[in-house]
Structure 1
Amino acid sequence: MPDSALCSRTVLVTGATSGIGFETARQLAERGATVLLHGRTDDEALAAADRLIGTAGIDAGRLSVCSADFARLEEVETPARTVVTAHPHLDVLVDNAGIAAPERHTVTADGNEVAFQVNFLAHYLLTCLLEPALIGDPGGRVVNVSSSLHRSASIHWADPNRARRYSRLAAYAQSQLALTVFAADPRVTAVSVHPGVCETALLPVYAHQGVSASEVATHVVRLCDPTVEIVNGAYYDRDERVEPAPGATDDRTVRRLGTLADLLVGRTA
């Protein structure tokens, strides 16, 4: 059912081809938003759009697709340029794409631990590149889909790739802590959310049981709604605003993470 608050909104959802991302895109489109579906490949993004059109009855005119493999940072720049050109004002960016850290320590061609890159660094780079479209008037917002596991994490500043001591759970938790800290970056208005444990490919990282991706996605969609007021850096556990891990919104930590991320993605001041 179209929602007047979302009908004029344009939202980019990363990792929109399955799980929470797909359900978030579906619910936003059903409520009248224009949704940009990101997938790892063109074929995956187009297949997701076809599913929304064919099974959910979404108007094809409210959907567009883009692709980038977040394990390759050079691929992030192309969809970012396309989005900024086609949508000079972007209302919401949902940083959702994510992977479970592999059992064995894995480094991308860019030289970064793969979960840290896919779950955080690629989103950091994408958000920076989309900044011109997000800070117009009225300003847009970023919703980072994080995890309660960020509370068990620490960022290994001297060894973010965890080359010296690797644990898949610790690597995944570090990526989620970084994403949560990034929400407090003052350059764009952003929040992070633990939407709940659901039945996706990431379930083994959390637990043995979870609820449906559709149910979990409602907590993400809520934060995309312009009638829901947000405070930069806020962290939500489902629909409840709670304090994130100690230090996650500390100015020094936010600046330090930005400096590290700029170095790892190759951005210069």
Structure 2
Amino acid sequence: MLESALPASSSLTGRTVLVTGATSGIGFATARRLAERGATVLLHGRTAEEARAAADRLIATTDVSATQLPVFGADFTRLDEVEELAALIVRDHPHLDVLVNNAGTAAPERHTVTTDGNEIAFQVNFLAHYLLTCLLEPALTSAPGGRVVNVSSSLHRTASIQWSDPNRARRYSRLAAYAQSQLALTVFAADPRVTAVSVHPGVCDTALLPLYANEGVTAAEGAAHVVRLCDPAVEIVNGAYYDRAERVAPAPAATEDRTIKRLNKLADVLVGRAAA
């Protein structure tokens, strides 16, 4: 199924969108396109200083005003900072139209665990976004039409979730760890609590390019596919997966009810939301 893209000039004025990982690559290009179309874009960076620098670059190169670009900092290798980020956003922006879960990192060569005890790619690419989405649910559902866009990867098709060892402590491969994080993010889009989709924006020339190929399209070209899914005029189905502009079937595991429930249970434990 291929939904037609809307003209780039269609207005998003009045919409509020949070973009994680908005300081570079696809996230920065997504923020630019959204702001140029009138949206208020909440810019997230690893630190508030990095987010402010990104906002300053946008202000200097577009007609976007500073009031359109509130900035937030949170290091996704620390779940307490994710919680603080969510609290600030709910306080300052109690209504959120779209959450773009874009922040990502390549798994390092050596097995690396965060201070929260999770493999770093699994936490940054999935668990932090899982926690953030759960905490922002009140803002995303405060009015009809709220949605989540997970920036995933075609590499999710190569992955499996190691349920007994999600941190891959026993057998580590950086590519397998990265792919597992992308599968988890894709599965999470089918969670019924908030309408969500996932999208592979194509192989883009960003910091993650070495995981895919030697060449890629520009970050702006990849961002166009993300921005399209942020537009309320583009109808989406909860759990849908897009390869660029085309809606296609994700890996079979991504739509299995058992896998969705199992992943939510695992994530709740790993982010500290499991019932006592």
| Separation in structure 1 between the aligned mates of residue 139 and residue 71 of structure 2, nearest angstrom | 17
| Cα deviations by residue, 1:194-243 (Å, 9 ceiling, x for unpaired) | 00011111000111100100111000000000000000000000000000
Deviation at 1:8, TM superposition (A): 1.1
Q: What is aligned with 2:267?
A: 261
Q: Distance in 1 between matches of 2:9 and 2:172?
A: 47
Partner of 2:30: 24
Letter aligned with residue 152 of structure 1:
T
Does the Cα contact within 8 Å between 1:3 and 1:32 map onto a contact in 2? no
Which amino acid in the other structure matches residue 262 of structure 1? D
How many angstroms does 1:10 deviate by? 0.2
Aligned to 1:236: 242
Contact 2:265/2:274 (8 A) holds in 1: no
2:166 aligned residue (160, 166, 179):
160
Contact 1:146–1:193, Cα closer than 8 Å, also in 2: yes
Match of 1:8 in 2: 14
Q: Does 1:70 align with 2:76?
A: yes
Say whether 1:46 aligns with 2:46: no
Which ranges of 4 or more aligned residues in structure 1 deviate by more than 6 Å? Answer: none
Equivalent position SS for 2:253: coil
- Among all aligned residue pairs of Structure 1 and Structure 2, give the percentage whose two residues are the same amino acid: 78
Q: Identify the match of residue 115 of structure 1 among 100, 121, 128.
A: 121
Tell me the alpha carbon deviations over residues 73-93 of structure 1, each in whole angstroms, 9 at most, x when there is no partner. Answer: 110011111111111110000
State the alpha-carbon separation in 2 of the partners of residues 63 and 76 from structure 1.
Answer: 19
Residue aligned with 1:248, SS? helix
Task: Show structure 2 runs of 5+ residues with no match.
Answer: 1-7
Q: Which stretches in structure 1 are left out of the alignment for 5+ residues?
A: none
Instruction: Output one character per residue of 1:108-167: Cα deviation in whole Å (capped at 9) or x when no partner.
Output: 110000000000000000000000001122231000000000000000000000011100
Q: 1:171 aligns with which of 157, 174, 177?
A: 177
Corresponding position of 1:141: 147
Q: Contact 1:49 / 1:63 at 8 angstroms: preserved in 2?
A: yes
Partner letter of residue 3 of structure 1?
A: S
**5 Å matches for 1:170-249?**
170-249=176-255
Query: Which residues of 2 match residues 80-119 of structure 1 at below 5 A?
Result: 80-119=86-125
Q: SS at the partner of 2:76?
A: coil
**Alpha-carbon shift at residue 2 of structure 1 (Å):** 6.0
How many residue pairs were aligned?
268
CA RMSD after TM alignment: 0.9
Q: Is the 8 A contact 2:145 2:232 kept in 1?
A: no
TM-score scaled to structure 2, two decimals?
Answer: 0.96
Normalising to structure 1: TM-score of the pair?
Answer: 0.98
Partner of 2:3: none
